Amino acid sequence: MSEALLASLFIFTLAIFIGFELIQKVPQTLHTPLMSGSNAISGVTVVGALALALLGGEHGPWVRWLAFAAIVFATINVVGGFMVTDRMLQMFRKR
């Protein structure tokens, strides 16, 4: 294994553990603002994946497939996040 791959795997594993610990410690009142931030990050992912799908043809067909998968999953995250946020905000509206 190359050193770069080993370092990347180490960082990825460390990010998983740190992310899991951070999410567990978030109070319920902060869930919605974090969800909105996640939607913004996924929006950036959609834009980047669109650019890669359009311009990444010279790197091979697998790049386009990965970009398509990123577009699909990030779009699901954005739509789902907005649905959850809208549902939560409906709880605070007057009837």
Q: What is the pLDDT of residues 13-49, one digit of tens each?
A: 999 898 888 878 877 777 767 777 777 788 888 998 8
Token pair of 13 as six digits: 């594993």
pLDDT, position 69: 92
pLDDT, position 1: 67
Q: Exposed/middle/buried for 84, CB within 10 Å: 0-12, 13-18, 19+?
A: middle
CA-CA distance, 70 to 45, in Å (whole number)? 7
Kindly report the pTM of this predicted structure: 0.62
Determine how many CB atoms are found less than 10 A away from the CB of residue 91: 6
Mean pLDDT of the residues in the chain: 83
